[in-house]
Amino acid sequence: MKHLVILGDGMADYPVEEAGGRTPLQTAEKPSIDDIARRGRMGLLRTLRPGLPKGSDIANLIILGYDPVSCYTGRGPLEAAARGITVGGKEVVFRCNLITVEGNRVVDYSGDHIETREAELLIAELNMRFSSVGRFYTGVSYRNLFVSERGEGLRATPPHDIVGEEYGKHLLKPDNEDSRMLNRMMLESIRILSKNPVNIRRLKAGKRPVNMAWIWGQGRMPKLEPFALKHGLTGTV
């Protein structure tokens, strides 16, 4: 028997006054989703765990039958594993968002949802400038990765949690040699990316610059039992 898992991540949204207090999901024409709902059954699945980050990475592990308490090491390592990136045993993988800052504040955690082809050019310059600290990998849009032998045990803040706040208050902690080096890299990225031709073109086009590399969600590569061995099923995403 074949199984299909459809995740409506964030699909519910909030009520909109202009739509009479209905959510976008309630307002939308969605015959296929409505048909699934009519023929389905409703239940509850707790996809959060006390003491763990409240994010889609944890939720997806649980949905796929893994216990995040024993296998979760961070968002970055999961994304690296999904992309087949080779990571050394002593290396730490960070998610790296390309974000927009103005003055001393974060204004957009997604860099205005920068196009991947633009992100590739920014990541290339970051690799050229910071090769002594680690290496960057392009992902999709603002979602990229950074791999380094530094950073294990540091506390990092997701940029989507601090929009409108001063980024200086949310740099890597505690204060030690690793955090100082990585924080310096993030702060220097503002100057470097601001001068990149990608951002010069964006400003001329009336767009916001994508002018800071923000690393977070770090950890070592997890040891996950292959899905096929765990469940006797094969699949794809």
Q: What is the pLDDT, as a whole number, of residue 221?
A: 95
Does the residue 33 lie in any domain? no
Q: What is the DSSP letter of 165?
A: S
* 112, 87 contact by CB (below 8 A): no
* 164, 107 contact by CB (below 8 A): yes
Question: What is the C-alpha R_g of the chain?
Answer: 20
Structure tokens at 220: 């070592």
Helix axes 177-194, 116-129, angle to 10 degrees: 130
Q: What is the pLDDT, as a whole number, of residue 218?
A: 97
Does the residue 153 lie in any domain? yes
- Number of domains, the chain: 1
Does the residue 224 lie in any domain? no
Question: Which pLDDT band, with edges at 50, 70 and 90, does 236 fall under?
Answer: confident
Q: What is the pLDDT, as a whole number, of residue 9?
A: 82
The pTM assigned to this predicted structure is 0.86
The CATH number assigned to the domain holding 173 equals: 3.30.70
Name the residue range of residue 132's domain: 56-219
Q: What is the pLDDT, as a whole number, of residue 174?
A: 97
Does the residue 185 lie in any domain? yes
Q: What is the DSSP letter of 102?
A: E
| pLDDT tens string 211-224 | 999 999 999 999 88
| pLDDT tens string 48-91 | 888 888 888 999 999 999 999 999 999 999 999 999 999 999 99
Q: What is the pLDDT, as a whole number, of residue 99?
A: 99
Does the residue 177 lie in any domain? yes
* Helix, strand, coil percentages for the chain (3-state, nearest 5): 40, 15, 45
Q: What is the DSSP letter of 103?
A: T
Structure tokens at 44: 């509850």
Residue 29 and residue 34: Cα distance in Å, rounded? Answer: 9
Q: What is the pLDDT, as a whole number, of residue 159?
A: 98
Does the residue 45 lie in any domain? no
Does the residue 19 lie in any domain? no
Does the residue 107 lie in any domain? yes
In the chain, the percentage of residues whose pLDDT exceeds 70 is 100
